[in-house]
Amino acid sequence: MHTIHRCCNPTIIVDPPPPAPCEQCSGFSSPVIPMMDSVGPCNENGSVIITSSANCSSFTLEFIEHDDAFSNVFVSGNTVNFTTVQGKAIPGKSYIIRGRGRCIGGTASGSSAQWIAQITIFNRCYQQVCLDCDPCTGLCPPDEIQIYHQSEIIVLP
């Protein structure tokens, strides 16, 4: 289940990670965020929550690398925060933030594992029919000719 709160700084919450491969091993969620649950391309803030396997009761996170579609990437607790970069974050395209979690409590204490957040950028022009839709606002330019069918041409005032 994916949940995003679009007001202010969106937070994306995902299902728990799969079980760890062994009792002394930790596992961390690697969320895949679909376009309709994501943030837009124009300097928008978002966050993704990373969870651990049941045998890891407390953990720390660090991010290792991220695609250039993101800036200001940092970890706070179990939340990875980021800002999309206008001009580099292309609507409808997926980008990643990669990191490592270290288990510091539970039977998996002392182990670590990699996590990857794959985030598809929200496309505000997804249902627009104009050719020059603004990716930041989702609005069509004024006076643009819109073609709905080959036989219909509508000029907007």
The radius of gyration computed from the CA coordinates of the chain, to the nearest angstrom, equals 20
Furthest-apart CA pair in the chain: how many Å? 68
Q: For 70-84, b where at least 16 C-beta lie within 10 A, e where not — what string? A: beebebeebbbbbbb
Per-residue pLDDT of the chain (157 residues; tens, 9 = 90+): 343 434 444 555 555 565 556 677 788 999 999 999 999 999 999 999 999 988 899 999 999 999 999 999 999 999 999 999 999 999 999 999 999 999 999 999 999 999 999 999 999 998 887 888 999 999 988 865 555 555 555 555 5
Spell out the domains of the chain, with CATH numbers in brackets.
3-123 (2.60.40), 125-157 (no CATH)
